[in-house]
Structure 1
Amino acid sequence: MRAIQITEFGGPEVLRVVDLPEPVAQPGQLLVDVAAAGVNYADTHAVEDSYLSKSTLPMVPGGEVVGRTAEGRRVVALTDGGGYAQRALAWEAMAHEVPEEITDGQALALVVQGLTAWHLLRTCARIAPGESVVVHAAAGGTGSLAVQLAKQFGVGRVIATASTKEKRELALELGADVAIEAAPDGAGLKEQLIEANDGNKVDAVLEMTGGPVFDASLAALAPFGRLVTYGMASREEPTAVTAAGLMGRSRAVVGFWLMHCVTRPGMYREPMAELFAMTADGRLKPQVGGVYPLTEAARAHTDLRARRTFGKLLLDPSR
């Protein structure tokens, strides 16, 4: 079967097309004929071995697929790697039946980015009606869903940040109250966020850049505000977190990794069912930003890292 494999760590250039034997399902596993594989920012970290969990070589990247099992079931599933291939293995517990009214792209957008956005708002930020929320990278896979969910959950003001005019317009179309351009180095960001919130500090921030953007976002929090960190796209660590700094403003910093949710009762299938229902009736509109041939996985990673994309990116293993 055709697959993408890496035999050395690095950037997009280490992603190579190879022919590999078809994987064999063990008890409790499903063999999925992959219709599409999802591309996540975490994949770019896994390929360079800079993610939360360590990578091992050789490796077929990819943590999510949608397709059909040998019995004809249409499922979307989280995988323990191996998704960038024509066939992939998934544990039965990590597979979710896909309603017919949900497209492959929508299903892939929901299983990682949708679940993440849901938990960022509900589980971590514990958002309350009327509060203000900052969504960084608001046109991205997670951000575009977080903007929509925040409005569905009764947030009073959604402040989006995005790098281009087109992305900011998309965030506004999805329900953001205001969209601003944030400098990658965080310069002036604290003041921008406060101004966008009518001169008030903000109640919650969903942050995945790290470094100075994290630091400026933390400084913009109101007393009892929560910053939820779920990525480090800049590859830079923040510097502003201190016990005194948190205590002095009654602020909280919460980390989030989706893998801690998938095996806990009520944290995987139930939110997925809600997300599917919201998508089916039109309340939620997952954004598919691009479909790349599997053979061009390196280009997908390059575009993602260069911030040229929006929404969910897919790989088509038939090409």
Structure 2
Amino acid sequence: MADTIRAVRQHEFGGPEVLRVEDVPRPVPGPGEVRIGVRSVGINFADTHARENKYVQRSHLPLIPGQEVVGVREDTGERVVALTRGGGAYAEEVTVPVGLCVPIPDGLDDDQALGLLVQGLTAWHLHRTCARLEGGEAVVVHSAAGGTGSLTVQLAKPMGAGRVIATASSPEKRALALELGADAAVDPRPEGLTERLIEANGGRPVDVVVDMAGGAMFDGSLRALGPFGRIVVCGISTKEQNEIRTGQLLKHSRSVIGFWLFHCLEDPERRFVAPLRDLFARAARGEVRVVVGGRWPLEDAHQAHRALLERRTTGKLVLDVDAGVSG
């Protein structure tokens, strides 16, 4: 067996062009870890932040990006989905903690399992753990055609939402959100956003907003909340931080809640494994499906990042480890 594998690795922080495929030493499992032969890798918006060292978790060079894979456990031969925690996913093999490696049920394909890991778990926790949806509440999902947004839309009503309002940046993406179960889909531009959200809810303030953007979109969404409304922050794609005045929260009985998936790993069985199995069951019932928006070989990881940053994609983006170089 070869001592090296192919991986996407960067030696400097910067744009998509810093991502290059090269031979790297084969990873060796540590205590409590298992090695996985990777079949496909999930691409997340967080990977673009890590590439620039602007993610919540600091990056270190040289860096192999990525945190989620589908593959085969070397020790058992099982088909699994797994979280790497510290990067390393854009590669032919990875090592992961055994507790973050979950068998994939028969009947669930690789892409569906992969899409339900980081993005599916995020969507699950946005509703259950953060917003704590109550029956019949109106929920706004921003970036509703993306990987996390498309799953958040689909899970909203099964988890108790009444009216689901999506935002997406193009007519095609808004049509996808409606197809996935949203009751209304509106333009996310900050100008007039508050009014559009309230209008889409029949003239009433909304109860919950799921925001991945930050900046002016966050401000407009916060103003659309009614008493006891919650805005859940799970991303800052605009890279624009917001400041909150506590007096405004008090005056309107509003809440701002942050969510970062990796805090769930402090209690992996309850907050990682159990919710993931629930998602697998929901997928088996046809309650939720992963929309695969694009596939690239490892060699074209930089193109995938560029497409994501330029908002040219929908749904789950996948690196196919076995695929050849695209034309």
1:318 aligned partner: 322
Equivalent of 1:237 in 234, 241, 251: 241
1:24 aligned partner: 28
Consecutive unaligned residues of structure 2, counting only runs of 5 or more, are none
| 1:21 positional shift | 1.5
1:258 aligned partner: 261
| 1:268 positional shift | 1.1
Write the distance in 2 (CA, Å) between the matches of 1:295 and 1:271. Answer: 33
Equivalent of 2:168 in 151, 159, 162: 162
The secondary structure found in structure 2 opposite 1:234 is: coil
Q: Following superposition of structure 1 onto structure 2, how do residues 98-137 of structure 1 map, counting pairs within 5 Å?
A: 98-137=104-143
**One-letter code of the match for 2:256?**
V
Q: Does 1:74 align with 2:76?
A: no
- 1:76–1:108 Cα contact (<8 Å) kept: yes
The secondary structure found in structure 1 opposite 2:25 is: coil
**One-letter code of the match for 1:256?**
F
- 2:135–2:162 Cα contact (<8 Å) kept: yes
Give the aligned length: 316
The secondary structure found in structure 2 opposite 1:129 is: coil
**One-letter code of the match for 1:77?**
A
**One-letter code of the match for 1:253?**
V
Structure 1 stretches of at least 4 aligned residues deviating more than 2 Å after TM superposition? none
Equivalent of 1:248 in 241, 247, 251: 251
1:187 aligned partner: 191
Superposed CA RMSD: 0.9
- 2:100–2:273 Cα contact (<8 Å) kept: no
**CA deviation map 1:175-215 (0-9, x unaligned):** 100001111xx111111101111111100000010110011
Q: Following superposition of structure 1 onto structure 2, how do residues 146-295 of structure 1 map, counting pairs within 5 Å?
A: 146-183=152-189, 186-239=190-243, 241-264=244-267, 265-295=269-299
What TM-score, normalized to structure 2? 0.95
- 2:145–2:174 Cα contact (<8 Å) kept: yes
Write the distance in 1 (CA, Å) between the matches of 2:56 and 2:173. Answer: 28
The secondary structure found in structure 1 opposite 2:117 is: helix
- 2:123–2:152 Cα contact (<8 Å) kept: yes
| 1:263 positional shift | 2.9
The secondary structure found in structure 2 opposite 1:124 is: helix
Q: Following superposition of structure 1 onto structure 2, how do residues 44-55 of structure 1 map, counting pairs within 5 Å?
A: 44-55=48-59
- 1:2–1:317 Cα contact (<8 Å) kept: no
- 2:141–2:152 Cα contact (<8 Å) kept: yes
Write the distance in 2 (CA, Å) between the matches of 1:11 and 1:215. Answer: 28
**CA deviation map 1:66-104 (0-9, x unaligned):** 000112111100002100001111110111111121111
**One-letter code of the match for 1:82?**
G
Write the distance in 2 (CA, Å) between the matches of 1:269 and 1:25. Answer: 21
Select between 221-230 and 14-23 the one with higher mean Cα deviation: 14-23
Q: Percent identity?
A: 53
Q: Does 1:56 align with 2:60?
A: yes
Write the distance in 1 (CA, Å) between the matches of 2:87 and 2:10. Answer: 12
| 1:282 positional shift | 1.1
What TM-score, normalized to structure 1? 0.97
Write the distance in 1 (CA, Å) between the matches of 2:162 and 2:270. Answer: 27
Write the distance in 2 (CA, Å) between the matches of 1:317 and 1:272. Answer: 23
- 1:136–1:208 Cα contact (<8 Å) kept: yes
| 1:151 positional shift | 1.3
Write the distance in 2 (CA, Å) between the matches of 1:98 and 1:282. Answer: 16
**One-letter code of the match for 1:140?**
G
